[in-house]
Structure formats: C-alpha cells, structure tokens
Amino acid sequence: MKVESIFICAFSVFSIFGFAQQKQDEKKQDSVKWKYTPNFTVGVDALNLGSGFFGDRKLYQGFISSRINKKVHAIIDLGYDKNVYQKNGYDAKADGLFAKIGGFYMLTMDPDNQLNGFYAGAKLAASFYSQEYMAIPVKGQYSEGVTVAFDPSTQSSYWIEASLGARVQVFESNFFLDVNVQPRYLAYTTKQEEITPMIVPGFGRSSGNFNMGFSWSLAYKF
Amino acid sequence: MKKIFFFLSFLFILASCGSDDDICLSSDSTPRLKLKFRSAANTSNQLIRIDTLYVDVDYGKTSLTNIITAQPNVDSIFVPMRVDNAVYTDIYFRTRKNGPRSKMRVSYITKPIYVSPACGYKINYENLNAELLESNPVQNVESNHTSLTDESRINFYLRF
C-alpha cells in the first residue's frame, strides 16, 4: 500500500512537467460554426496501469471520446478491475468489468488548439463482477478472529460520477495527456445476504457510498 | 490557468495519503448474557448480592479466560459467550479464589446478523438453555428469558 501511494505521488509530480509545456496565449478566437465530422480519441489510463505493479489492485481502463460539438465531447469508458480487501478481519476479493458513459464540457479552451483545455463532465457507470467473501468478522468480546464465509457470487453495482480534468496535446503530435479526477457516488448495488460490498470493481472501496477516482491517460486522436 | 494545474496535482497528492474509514465505532456488537443472583437458602425471588465473584469462560482456547476477577458486592453480571460455531458456552463461577467452582453449560442456537461494513456480523442467541454440570457454589439455575438479542433482559437467575 505504501509503495503504491508513493508511486501515485511521484506520478502526480511528474504530471506537472507534462503540463508545463502548455502555451499561455490569450487570443480571442473567431466563432465559426462547428460541424461534426467523425472523430475519435482513444486513451489508456497509465497511472492505474502502473500502480497495478505495486499494489493489490489491478485496474485497467481506457476510454473512447468523440467531440460532438464545439465544446461538448461524448465519452465511453471501459475497464477491468481486480481487487482484494484484507482488513479488520475481512478477506474478500472481487473482479469484473465496468463501463461508463457520459459527456464532458470544455470549460476553457486553448485558442490555438481547441482540444486543449479544462473540462467538467458527468457519467453513468455500471459494474458487473464476481465477488467472494472468504471472511467477514463476527464482533464479540474475547472472540477475536471469528469469521463467517460466503460462497462466490455474481453482483452488479451502479454509480454516478463527475469528472474534472484537463487534456493537453503532446507537442505537435496526435497524442494527448488527459488527467482527471472522478468524485463518484454509489447509487445502487446488488447484495449477497444483505452484505454491503467492501470493494466494487471500477468504483473502488465501497464501504462508504462516496469515493474518488483518479486517472492519468495517454490518448491518441484519430 | 497555471493555478488550476497545481490544484489538480495537489488533488493527486492528496489521494496518495487517503484515509480509511473502516473502524467499527458502534457498540452494536454481539450481546452478552445477563445474569442476576438469588439466594439458594430460601425460595423467594429476592435478588441478592455476591460478596466476591470470579467468572471464567471457555472460549475454545487452550485455557479458560478469566472475565471477572474478585469483583466485590456484585448484583448482576454480563458474560460474553462464544460467537463461533459452538452450540454451547461453558461458564465457571467461584466465590473464593481457591474455592469450589461451578460449571454452567449454556446451549443455544446462534443466528448471525449483519450489522455494517465496519462491524461485520454479530450473533444473536435463541433457545438459551442452562445446565448446571457442577453445582457448588451455584446451587440452581432459573431461566428467565431464552432469547438474547440485546442486553436489556435478564436471561438466568443463579441461586447461590
């Protein structure tokens, strides 16, 4: 866990340099009517891919986004998440696929390159996964280490998430860096024997309904 | 603009030191057996106090767990019982350190109840039945309330 945290910290510092190349021109742009032409940006989350080497959580996710008008982009995220929860007497694991669909709105745009800038958006997300609770603690005085176990089962969870982030072109290439934070709220989850899931693939720790996700993606624009 | 970059990075750094919220602070744990005392010398239902009491419980470990040591002037006690799959808990009573010891076997049906993510499960006991296997200093056991879901009601009266 410690190593994973240090990795995320180092990645954050590194990401500042990635953005340092941003130009600060303040030109007024001409407002030409924007017409949709098929365009796609495909990205892979490098932060979580990398931290998978250091922690128990293996999170692989990517996105496809398309600019549908001047300031609005549609986005679909797909991912696979495998995680364990071994704490406070719990021993649980879960793995499964998740998908998110939504859009984001460019709050500020670089006049030179309209794909650069800050954005805010919202997504609906769903996760379909299998879980196994090998141990759930039973609380009783003088009886530490007593647990109950459950058979593997298939569950699904649904949440809404906001995204706040920035997208910056890497020099003059078709590559972009996309960094965003995703505050999320677990709206509904199926339960096994009324047990609130401790981990939900794609959502993360779910003992509380609120969670925060981070991603740092390298994207390519076709 | 640049400020927002730093703000974003700051958020990332915050994420590195995220806290955990899985501590069970609530007292919603497995309820304990509640016992009170009556006199064996007369048949009245008047409650008595025990001048000194020692209680040991067999939790399935290699030795007995001493839960009450030389408590003076006791009018009631709470005894935590086993929460594993055992169908009974053995409880031992003494009124003197090296005096005779009574063995009471409380049998029951356990019912696990899910509490919360942080606390996990607690156990409720049904069909409580006490059997006195060694009867000195406790002479007799009287059943009062045979289900144990909270600690509000007295389950057994012990006659000393």
- Residue A86 counted as domain residue: yes
- Residue A173 counted as domain residue: yes
- Residue A49 counted as domain residue: yes
Residue A78: what pLDDT?
95
- Residue A25 counted as domain residue: no
Q: Where does residue B46 rank: exposed (0-12), middle (13-18), buried (19+ CB within 10 A)?
A: exposed
- Residue A29 counted as domain residue: no
- Across residues B110-137, what is the average pLDDT? 89
- Tally of residues, chain A: 222
| Structural domain boundaries enclosing A61 | 2-16+37-221
Nearest to A191 by CA among A158, A159, A157, A160: A157
The single residue listed with the structure tokens 């005894």 is B79
Residue A23: what pLDDT?
45
- Residue A32 counted as domain residue: no
Burial letters for B61-88: b for 16+ Cβ neighbours within 10 Å, e otherwise?
eeeeeebbeeeeebeebebbbbbbeeeb
> How confident is the model over B32-70, as pLDDT tens digits?
999 999 988 877 788 888 889 999 999 888 888 888 888
pTM: 0.75
User: pLDDT tens track of chain A, all 222 residues?
Assistant: 456 666 665 666 555 555 554 444 444 444 556 677 888 899 999 988 888 888 888 999 999 999 888 889 999 999 999 999 998 888 999 999 999 999 999 888 888 777 888 999 999 999 999 999 999 999 888 878 889 999 999 999 999 999 999 988 888 888 999 999 999 999 999 998 889 899 999 998 887 788 888 899 999 988
Nearest to A204 by CA among B9, B20, B13: B20
Would you give the DSSP letter of residue B14? H
CATH number assigned to the domain comprising residue A194 = 2.40.160.20
Q: Please report residues of B whose CB lies closer than 8 A to that of A194.
A: 114
Q: Which residue of A has its CA nearest to B14?
A: A9
Q: Please report residues of B whose CB lies closer than 8 A to that of A135.
A: none
Tell me if A139 and B29 make a contact (CB, 8 A cut-off). Answer: yes
B100 backbone dihedrals φ, ψ, rounded to 5°: -65, 155
Nearest to A205 by CA among A221, A189, A193: A189
Residue A139: what pLDDT?
86
pLDDT for B80 beyond 60: yes
Please state the domain count of chain A.
Answer: 1
Tell me if A87 and B118 make a contact (CB, 8 A cut-off). Answer: no
Residues of B with CB under 8 A from a CB of A: 1-2, 4-6, 8-9, 11-13, 15-18, 20-24, 28-30, 32, 57, 59, 65, 67, 80-84, 112, 114-123
pLDDT for B4 beyond 90: no
